[in-house]
């Protein structure tokens, strides 16, 4: 994700893929035109579409691996992350501090929007900054405090990492608080460790601290589904 944050466009590390990105050795390729602040990439293997966002323009993008076509929709507010739902025509978007289900198939016009949950009422100038869905369909999404647009100063300790499921939409579970900037979520290959970054200083990436937070067995719960 460092390339994304640093340069503001999406590059991909390709390991001998087929199709248009058919490099035979590891290589970095530019796949989209430059945007302001790319975040929250999410791959939908059902459609060969990569979703990503440009936080401050409110744009949610789709990049089609097969056609290299880029489309976007624009929401009212800051947007991040974008995570595909079980229904392939719905994308879950972090809009300000809310989880919003947006009807969009990645290609055609935007449909309805429905707010599923709103977090961090106690930090009403904070916003979502990064998030992922786990294998069981639970959302691990985190917030950060407001940034001063002229100085870049962050309101400290106003971030929270939440676990959001269809059962707790009214009161999402707080997993970690306080946080400065929720960022960089990933699971290990064995799927029993979860990594999470709090970017504390807004300085260089080497200042980031990476903590292993959870080591757990997976519990079977139903996938996250819109509105139910």
The residue at minimum Cβ distance from ligand NAG is 77
Q: Compare residues 58 and 106 and give the one whose CB is closer to ligand NAG.
A: 58
Q: Compare residues 34 and 156 and give the one whose CB is closer to ligand NAG.
A: 156
Residue 178 CB, shortest distance to ligand NAG, in Å, is: 5
Is residue 183 part of an annotated ligand binding site? yes
Burial (CB count within 10 angstroms: exposed 0-12, middle 13-18, buried 19+), residue 20: exposed
Contact partners, residue 206, CB within 8 Å, separation at least 6 = none
Residue 120 CB, shortest distance to ligand NAG, in Å, is: 11
Counting other chains too, the contacts that 97-101 makes at CB distance below 8 Å and 24 or more residues apart are 97/124, 97/126, 97/127, 97/128, 97/143, 99/139, 99/141, 99/164, 99/169, 100/75, 101/226, 101/227
Q: Compare residues 25 and 228 and give the one whose CB is closer to ligand NAG.
A: 25
Residue 194 CB, shortest distance to ligand NAG, in Å, is: 18
| Rg of the chain in Å (alpha carbons) | 17
Kindly tell me the sign of the dihedral angle through the C-alpha atoms of 52, 131, 144, 4: negative
Is residue 129 part of an annotated ligand binding site? yes
Is residue 39 part of an annotated ligand binding site? yes
Is residue 147 part of an annotated ligand binding site? no
Is residue 121 part of an annotated ligand binding site? no
Residues making up the binding site:
39, 127, 129, 148, 183
Known binding-site positions for substrate: 127, 129, 148
């Amino acid at each position: 994700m460092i390339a994304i944050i640093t340069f503001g466009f999406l590059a991909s590390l390709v390991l001998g893929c087929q199709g248009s990105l058919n490099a035979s050795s590891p290589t970095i390729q530019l796949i989209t035109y430059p945007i302001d602040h790319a975040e929250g990439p999410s791959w939908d293997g059902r459609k060969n579409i990569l979703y990503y966002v440009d936080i401050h323009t409110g744009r949610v993008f789709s990049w089609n691996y097969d056609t290299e076509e880029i489309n976007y929709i624009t929401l009212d507010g800051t947007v991040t992350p974008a995570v595909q739902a079980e229904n392939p025509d719905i994308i879950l978007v972090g809009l300000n501090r809310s989880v919003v289900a947006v009807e969009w198939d990645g290609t055609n016009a935007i449909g309805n929007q429905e707010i599923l949950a709103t977090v961090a009422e106690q930090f009403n100038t904070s916003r979502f900054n990064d998030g992922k869905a786990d294998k069981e369909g639970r959302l691990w999404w985190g917030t950060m405090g407001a940034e001063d647009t002229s100085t870049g100063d962050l309101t400290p300790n106003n971030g929270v990492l939440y676990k959001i499921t269809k059962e707790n939409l009214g009161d999402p579970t707080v997993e970690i608080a306080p946080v400065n900037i929720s960022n960089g979520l990933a699971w290990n290959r064995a799927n029993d460790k979860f990594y999470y970054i709090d970017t504390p200083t807004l300085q260089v990436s080497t200042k980031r601290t990476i903590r292993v937070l959870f080591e757990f067995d997976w519990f079977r719960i139903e996938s996250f589904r819109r509105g139910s």
